[in-house]
Amino acid sequence: MAGEPVNVNEFQELARQALPKMYYDYYTGGAEDQHTLKENVEAFCRIIIRPRILVDVSRIDMSTTILGHKTSAPIMVAPTAMHKLAHPEGEVATARGAAACDVIMGLSYMSTCTVEEVASSCNAVRFFQIYVYKRRDITALMVHRAEKNGFRAIILTADTPRLGRREADIKNKMVAPQLKNFEGLISTEYVSDKGSNIEAFAAGAFDASFCWKDIAWLKSITKLPILIKGVLTSEDAIKAIEAGFAGIIVSNHGARQLDYAPATISVLEEVVLAVQGKVPVFFDGGVRRGTDIFKALALGAKAVLIGRSVVYGLAAKGERGVKQVIQMLKNELELTMALSGCCTVYDITRSHVKTEKEMLH
């Protein structure tokens, strides 16, 4: 590619050139037929923006508030695993990129830098994502370490009782490193030639029995607000509110868990309507453009999380690449708002988009 990348897809191409095939496949891949993976992106194409003209858009303000934290834009870094496979500086570089753009950093439970390293290396507002291990003591310890190190919320990822079947990882016999957070607690480094080592690790470590009644335990070990990630239906949205979550993240895990789960943008509104404004609803899956963010906000999301886009920036150029990707999405959102007649994120309403179903009528 000649010259600087001008959009996220071009960053993906740079990431492909920078990474060994095993890791590139790990970052890009989805589950099984990857139907949902394609849909996550394509479903955005079926939503049309309804712009308003002759609005004074000489000043655009994208800032918003997330769980009481002011942020420059309705964008957060999604928790994604093992950033050192993308770049030697790992999550520290990602967090610094997020801090430079004044957006919230979501740190994965499966990070390659420790909670302490990330906390001491940047001043971004940080949320910590967790899985629940069979060894609950380890999960509790991680939550306490996050709390002690100034993380401001916990994200419970609830769509992963087992790992989805990611066939590229099986073929590549994907190898995971020992994660530093868990050194001396649990071995994450499986080296077998039978298939995905990550899948083998998850099968042994993740607690598939964890369910709604166990949320009381999670709430008992932390004072931090807890978001639930992985909600795709109104039924679960209502349960999440009853369970006392501080917010809901509509997510299908970047299409890496259940194939033929819906594209997230196609179920966002169902969840928003069920929640009735009781807690904020966040969104992730397939965000590659500022117009995608605009559409998610119009359908009721408070903010979006970006997963692969950030990883592509990291793989291509480290901290600078993360910064460029986030800035690129912010610039695109700002332009979309200006061209749609919205000066602030609060001006973006349901009437600014038309879904495929509505176009048929």
Q: Which of residues 44-63 bind ligand FNR (CB under 6 A)?
A: none
307 forms part of the interface with ligand FNR (CB under 6 A)? yes
| Residues 220, 358: Cα–Cα separation, whole Å | 44
Binding residue for ligand FNR, selected from 284, 292, 319, 332, defined by CB under 6 A: 284
CB of 230 to ligand FNR, least distance (A): 8
Total residues binding ligand FNR (CB under 6 A): 25
Q: Which is nearer to ligand FNR, 272 or 329 (CB)?
A: 329
248 forms part of the interface with ligand FNR (CB under 6 A)? no
24 is in an annotated binding site: no
| Residues 303, 262: Cα–Cα separation, whole Å | 19
94 forms part of the interface with ligand FNR (CB under 6 A)? no
308 forms part of the interface with ligand FNR (CB under 6 A)? yes
One-letter amino acid identity for 296? A
229 forms part of the interface with ligand FNR (CB under 6 A)? yes
Q: Are 334 and 324 within 8 A, CB to CB?
A: no
Q: Is 352 assigned a catalytic role?
A: no
x/- site string to ligand FNR, residues 287 to 306, per CB under 6 A? x------------------x
Would you state the structure tokens that stand for residue 137, as one six-digit string?
């003591």
344 is in an annotated binding site: no
Cβ neighbours around 60 below 10 Å, total: 16
The answer for residues whose C-beta is within 8 angstroms of residue 320's C-beta and 6 or more apart is 97
| Residues 259, 35: Cα–Cα separation, whole Å | 6
Q: Which is nearer to ligand FNR, 57 or 230 (CB)?
A: 230
* Strand-pair partners of 107: 128
Q: Which of residues 107-146 bind ligand FNR (CB under 6 A)?
A: 108-110, 129
Binding residue for ligand FNR, selected from 5, 79, 280, 318, defined by CB under 6 A: 79
Phi-psi region of 356 (alpha: psi -120 to 50; beta: other; left: phi over 0): alpha
- The one catalytic residue among 83, 87, 253, 352: 253
Q: Which is nearer to ligand FNR, 47 or 306 (CB)?
A: 306
250 forms part of the interface with ligand FNR (CB under 6 A)? no
308 is in an annotated binding site: yes
Q: Which is nearer to ligand FNR, 57 or 75 (CB)?
A: 75
Binding residue for ligand FNR, selected from 8, 81, 113, 268, defined by CB under 6 A: 81
For ligand FNR, which stretch binds (CB under 6 A), given 112-120, 193-201, 278-286, 320-328?
Answer: 278-286
Strand 69-71 to 281-284 pairing:
unpaired
Helix, strand or coil for residue 70? Answer: strand
| Residues 235, 223: Cα–Cα separation, whole Å | 26
346 is in an annotated binding site: no
71 forms part of the interface with ligand FNR (CB under 6 A)? no
DSSP string, 145-167: HHHHTT--EEEEE-S-SS----H
Element (H, E) at 76: strand 75-77
How many Å is the Cα radius of gyration of the chain? 19
| Residues 276, 237: Cα–Cα separation, whole Å | 10
Q: Which is nearer to ligand FNR, 31 or 99 (CB)?
A: 31
Element (H, E) at 127: strand 126-130
Where do contacts with ligand FNR occur on this chain (CB under 6 A)?
26-27, 40, 78-81, 108-110, 129, 157, 229, 251, 253-254, 256, 284-287, 306-309
Indicate the annotated binding residues for FMN: 79-81, 108, 129, 157, 229, 251, 284-288, 307-308
Catalytic residues: 253
